[in-house]
Every structure is written in C-alpha cells, then in structure tokens.
Structure 1
Amino acid sequence: MSFTLLIKSLLRRKVITALLLVQLALTLALIANSAVLAWQARQLANQPTGLTLSNLLRVPIKPTLPELRSQPALGDLMERQLSAIRAVPGVVSASWMNQTPLLFGGMNGNIFVIDKQDTTNIGMVPYQLGSVSMRETLGLTLLQGRWLEETDVDTEVIVLSEQLSKQLFPDGEVLGQQTSAGRVIGVVSDVLTQRYADHQNYAIYLPWNMQSADYGYQLLVKIEPGQLDRVREQLPAVLKAVELEVDIGTLQSFAELHRTLFRSETGLAALLAVLSGLMLLVAMISAYSHALFHGVQQQKEIGIKRALGASRPRIMLEVLTESWLTTLTGAAAGVLLALLLQQQLSKVLSMPALPWYLLPLTVLLLLLCVSLATWYPARLATRVSPATATKTL
C-alpha cells in the first residue's frame, strides 16, 4: 500500500477533500470544548451549597403603600407575616432577609481588619441582614462564639462565614476582632451566597431593623421534607390575609434558584453538545458519501487490482486507510482549532483548560465514527468483479 498514491488520489479531489477536512476539524473542536463545558456545568451544579435546597422557599415581598415601607409600620408588618407563616402546618422556620443566597445583587461591600486595611481588604462581600431566626432558616452551623440575638439588633456586632473568617484571620484568632463592619462575635458554616462575590462562600451576618423597603424584602421559609409544594400553594393566601397592600413575587424553591444560577453554563454546554452531535452526524454522512463516490469512480482500477490478485480485505483496507488519513489530517487541524476556541470561550466564561487526555480521546471518537461510516462503501468496493471492470479495456 503506497501512502504517496493515497495522497495523490486525495489531491485529485482537493475541493471535496478540503471541505471534508474543515468539517472534521470543526467537529473535533466543538466536541472537545462541549465536553469540557458539560463537565464544568456538572461540577458546578453538584458542588456543595451548604443549604437544603429542596426544603427552602423564597418569597419576595414589596409593600404597595408608602406608609408600610418605613418604620414602625414596616417592622410590624414583617412580624405579622412571619407569625402567620410559622403557623402554617409543615413550616419549620421563617425569617426575613435583605437578600437571598444564590442570587446576585443586594447589599454588598468591602470589609477589612481595623489597622490592617492594606493587607486584609476584601472588595465585595454580601452583607446578609435580617432577623435572628435566619440561622435556623438557612441551617447554619455555629462553629465559634455565639449567634446573633435580639439585643444585638442595630449594634456593631457581626458573624462571619467560615471561609471569610479564614481569609481575614488566618491565625484563627477571630472572636472579638474589630473589622470595618463591626466586632466579630461568631463564625458559622459556609453557604453559597453569591457566585460573583470575591468568593462564593463569603458572608457577613448582621441583625438589623430595616428602616425602609422601597425595593422590597425577602421572606425565607424552611419547610419539612415533602411539604414544599403544599406550603407554597398556601402562602399567597396566608400573606394576603395578613395585609392586602403588598405585592407578592414569584415563590421559588432554592432548588429552582440553584438551577437558574448555573443556567448559562448548562445552556451553553447543551447547545454545544447538540451542535457537536449534528456536526459528527454530518461528518459521518460526508465520509460515507466521499468513500462511496470515490469507490464508484475507482471501480475499474479496483477491478484491475482484483484481477492482478489483490484480495478483498486488501481493497477494503485501502479504502479505510484513505479515510483514516483524511480523518487524522482533519483531526490535527481540529486540535489547533479546539485550543483556539477554548481560549476565546475562556474570555467570556470561567472555563478550564482542555485536559491533556481529552483531545486524543476525541480523535479516537472521530476515527471510530468515520470508520463506521466508511465501512459499507469499502465493503461495496470489494464486490467489484474483475471481469466486469476489465471487459471495457
């Protein structure tokens, strides 16, 4: 078998061959990058959040009357709403907060250790303000010190998440330390607060009397296992019975918020996976058509080879070898294209580098699929009769 003759044969069909090479290169690049994005989306979605996603419910509230948006009417409204929610069968705990974990936005600011601003300043940390019951509602575990109490409301004491405390105080001496946000009285377990903060597990917890609610507030409800749907159906009527002059937003479980949080990565991975599948299918069809058309054109040549003693397995091997040569050439270009595509995607997404083993595996997948597509045309080529092929000579 002469590779020189194979290359010459391909060059005689340079336009068709070039199109097939481009198609193979694009297919490999898409498959490799979609695999990385799918893996990343799965890793992000399966990472621990520190929250019982299926048992937590978010209820956005906005008073419609101006007098209900400021103290003391606002505080009274919140207490009446929370009391009514806690009385609903299946509710374990309820609290109000200025912002919801897993969602971007709300009150974020910097924090630093007093007299050490230059070395300890952290630029963007969520300030989780709310009633003292938010620890029970979110399921936070107390790791050091104590939790917030009613007497701490509007005082300069704070509780830090574990990850934030380690960043600010790597020596472990946390309790009693003075920060720009207040004096530290406790440390609690991490939850996924905001993905786009300086760290997704950073959080500062403060007890607070909300002075105004022009943008509304959040009611968080912890529910017994298996009771979320039933409680969700009852809450709008319960809240309206407390006060009609409020807008109640869409009630969402934390599981729904979690899916939304990684929707861009999941959606892009799914889109690229579909495109990769379609490109692979088209590449197989093209390889099949290319081999079939070439086999028809070369019937006379194949018949002569058969007349001169070439066996059917040898003829099939020649057809498959030409297909493999084309695939490997296209795959070589595809490897470079895959790396280039990854660099461009990483500029707009938090995307890891392609693993070293992924590209060889993708090349093998491409070879396997093209071989399957080429097998039938190669088999047809072996059926060319020497007598039929040579009688016109």
Structure 2
Amino acid sequence: MSITLLLKSLSQRKVITVLLLVQLTLTLALLSNSVLLSHQAYSLSNQPTGLDLDSTLTVDLNPTDDNLMSQPALGGLIQRQLEALRLIPGVRHASFTNQTPLLPGGMNGNTYVEDQEVTTNIPAVPFNFADPELFDALQMTLIHGRWLTAEDSETDSVVLTETLATQLFGESSKAVGQLINTGTVVGVVADIMYQRFSSDQYYALFFNEKLPSAEHGYSLILNVEKSAIDRVRQQVADVLRQVEAETDVLQVNTLRQLHRRVFQQERGLAILLSALSAMMLLVAMISAYSHALFHGLQQQNEIGIKRALGANKTRILFEVLSESWLTTGFGAILGILASYLLQQQLAKIISLSPLPLWLPVGASVLLLLCVTIATWYPASIATRVSPAHATKAL
C-alpha cells in the first residue's frame, strides 16, 4: 500500500488522527524524560559519599535560653552534651559542627590561594567549625599532612577535602603548608559529600574553632556501632534534655536519611513522570486498539471487495498495521521535538542533564512496539472479512 493512499485514508479521519498524534507526542515526551530523570536520580543516589551512612547520627539542636546562645556558655553546654552522649553504650565518637554533610546548602565562603584570588577563587565552599573528633565521628580518611589537633584551636590551621585541594593547587599533595585566604593548610582528607549546591558537592574546609553563637542552631555528630543505632537514637533526646532542659532537640537522623532527602526532588519527580508515562502508554495502546477496531468495522465492505479481488489475509493485515505505524511515526517525530522542549522546561526547575538522542529514539521504538501489539488483534479481525460479506452488502 502506498504512502499516498495511507495519508488519504488518515485524512478522512482528521479529528481522530490529530488526537491520536497529540497523545503519542505527549506519551513519548513524558516517557523520554521520565527515563532520563529516573537514571539521573539513580546515578545521584549511588554516587560515592565517603561517609558511613548507616552508622552516623546527626542531632540538630537549638538552645531556648538566651544565656546559652553565645560563648563561653555555649561552649560549656556543647562539651557537657558531648560527654553525656559518649557515655551511651554503642557511641564510639561524638563531635559538634555548625553544619552537617548531605545538606542542600549551608554556611559557605570564598576560598582562594593567597595573592592569587583572581585565578583561584572558588565562590561557595562549605566552612565547618568543629573539634578534632569530627574526623573520627565522620570516619574521614587522611591523605596528606595531619589532622587538626587541640593545639590548632582558634588558630588559622585548616584541613581541605581532596577535590578542593586539587582545584586550588593542581595536585592535592601540593596543598599542605600552603597559605589560602582562610589560613594555612595542614592536612587533606578524602572527599566526602558535603553540600549539593556548593561550588562542588565534595568541597569542604574545616577549622578547629568554637561556634561563635547558636543563633541558627548547631549539630552534633555521633559515630555509633551499627547494631546499636536504633537504641542510641531513641536515647539521644532524653540524654540531652537531662544535660540541659532549655534545649530543643529538633531532629535526630542517620546520614542515610539525609542522603535520601537531598535527592528526593529528583526521585519524586521521576516517580511521578514514570507513573504518568505508564498511564499515557496504556491510554495510547487503548486508543490505537479502538482506532484500529473502529476503522476495521467501517471498512468491512472495502476489505471484503479487496479479498474478492484476490488480496490475501497477510496483505490486509499489513495495510491495517501500516496505518498505525505511519501515525506512530509522525507522533514519534513530534514526540522527539516535544521531549527536548520538556527537558528544557524541567531543567529550569531542577538540575537535569541534557537529553541524549538515543533516549527518545529508543522510546519511539518502544511506543511503536506497544502500538503494534495493541493494533494486532483488531487487524487480525479485519483479515477475517470474507468476500461474501462485501458481495452481500452490494
């Protein structure tokens, strides 16, 4: 059957054909972008974090007594809290920090090599005030130099993550002893995932300094035996209230929970688009089935005449399927264009990688397969029309 005759046949059913094209276009656009989002969400969730997600607890606190909001009372409160938490069976290390890893954002600052601000400046690096035990609490790995120690308290000694040191000095091994705008680098630790929306999610800089105030709260980090994580989590709030009743325990989370939250937008949108895609694909199959069945019933006389003139069942089957294939082909072309338009709009809302061409092309093949399956039964019914049916109608 020629393309011209197929187009003529489709033009006789303009409204139905247009609606089917719109449906196929939207289905392909949603399908392509849902696969892209699902793949990206999976890839993001499985990036190395450098953290022990299941054995680390974070506790977010906020003093309710104004007298505890600043030093030296704040420092004394934190030390009493840490000492009490270390006494809980199963707690191996406890430390404080102004911000925890795996947050969307937080306290950031510019970092650059001294006297090279123009060429080395990095605009958003997480700054972390902590004591030396934070390295044990987060189970960090030292690569070059040394850890911060008690002697580094209130000095300009800093420790960098490997990615940050490499960005500043070309090689992380060259960082130790170098002067940056925030102090002297004394150590480089293996990368940990700190803030997703900083200049790089693996950038982090550590000082051994006391928190100047608790105006925005603070966090305690606990490294716990994995078998005791649930038991310790249940005790944390009560222990802290016993230390100081004028303290709000806002949240107690594992790093695993924070890790899930930081990528929940992508996962949620991926699930939503996947569900919509599945529904649209099902509706497209139902529409293709209905369209082919209705068309077959309308064309019974014509099919019977063709059979009387010698057309075999295979040819009739191919003709019915060809109309579905042609409609799906046009829908696929429009759908590929719509896929890129939808990707551009989604990229304005969330961080989304470019759409590779193979993805909408692959989705087109899947769509064509589904439409073929949906059309097969109505097409096979059309082949059963006998020449006698057309003769009787005439």
| TM-score, structure 2 normalization | 0.97
Q: Greater shift after overlay, 160-169 or 97-106?
A: 97-106
1:34 matches 2:34: yes
Check whether the contact 1:59–1:248 (CA below 8 A) recurs between aligned residues. yes
Offset at residue 73 of structure 1 (A): 2.1
Deviations 1:10-59 (A, max 9, x none): 11111111111111111111111111111111100000011011111111
In 1, Cα distance between equivalents of 2:391 and 2:6: 22
3-state DSSP class of the match of 2:357?
coil
8 Å contact 1:78–1:96 — kept in the other structure?
Answer: yes
SS of corresponding position for 2:40: helix
Q: Residues 105 and 197 of structure 2 are in contact (CA less than 8 Å); yes or no, is this contact kept in structure 1?
A: no
How does 1:308-387 map onto structure 2 within 5 Å? 308-387=309-388
Q: CA deviation at 1:307?
A: 1.6
Cα drift, residue 351 of structure 1: 1.6
Give 3-state SS (helix, strand or coil) of 2:227's partner: coil
Counterpart check, 1:71 vs 2:71: yes
How far 1:88 moved relative to its partner?
0.8
User: In structure 2, how many angstroms separate the alpha carbons of the residues matched to 1:311 and 1:34?
Assistant: 42
Q: Which amino acid aligns with 2:157?
A: V
Distance apart, 1:4 and its partner CA: 1.9
Return the offset for 1:323.
Answer: 0.8
| CA positional deviation for 1:69 | 1.8
TM-score by length of 1: 0.97
| 1:140-167 Cα distance to aligned partner (Å, 9 max, x none) | 1111111111121111111111111111
CA–CA distance in 2 between the matches of 1:245 and 1:41?
Answer: 40
Query: Structure 1 residue 85 and structure 2 residue 93: aligned?
Result: no
Q: Would the aligned equivalents of 2:61 and 2:251 in 1 still touch at CA under 8 Å?
A: no
* SS of residue in 2 equivalent to 1:17: helix
Counterpart of 1:198 in structure 2 is 199
Deviation at 1:105? 3.6
Cα contact 2:161–2:188 (8 A) shared by 1: yes
Range with greater deviation from structure 2 (269-278 or 350-359): 350-359
Shift of 1:132: 1.2
Letter in 2 for 1:257: L
Per-residue CA deviation, residues 276-325 of structure 1 (Å, 9 max, x unaligned), is: 11111111111111101100100111111112222222211111111111
- Which residue in 1 is equivalent to 2:267? 266
Residue in 2 that maps onto 1:118: 118
Does the CA contact (< 8 Å) of 1:75 and 1:209 recur in 2? yes
Secondary structure in 2 aligned to 1:325? Answer: helix
1:175 aligns with 2:167: no
Where in structure 2 are the equivalents of 1:212-227 lying within 5 Å?
Answer: 212-227=213-228
Matches within 5 A, 1:101-250: 101-171=101-171, 172-250=173-251
Which runs of no fewer than 5 residues in structure 2 stay unpaired? none
Report the equivalent of 2:389.
388
State the one-letter code of the partner of 2:125: V
Tell me the distance in 2 between the aligned counterparts of 1:106 and 1:309: 77
- RMSD of aligned Cα (Å): 1.2
2: CA distance between counterparts of 1:141 and 1:13?
Answer: 69
Contact 1:63 1:247 in 2 (8 A): yes
State percent identity of aligned pairs. Answer: 55
Deviation string, structure 1 residues 67-100 (Cα, Å, up to 9, x no partner): 1222222222111111111111111111000001
Distance across 2 between alignment mates of 1:303 and 1:227: 77
CA contact (8 A) 1:99 1:105 kept: no
Query: How far is 1:346 from its partner?
Result: 2.3
Aligned residues: 393
Q: Given that residues 287 and 323 in structure 1 are in contact (C-alpha distance below 8 angstroms), is that contact kept between their aligned partners in structure 2?
A: yes
**What amino acid sits opposite 2:247 in the alignment?**
V
Q: Contact (CA 8 Å) 2:81, 2:240: kept in 1 or not?
A: yes
Higher mean C-alpha deviation, range 168-177 or range 199-208: 168-177
CA offsets 1:116-136 (integer angstroms, 9 cap, x no match): 111111111000111110000
For the Cα contact (< 8 Å) 2:105–2:198, is it kept in 1? no
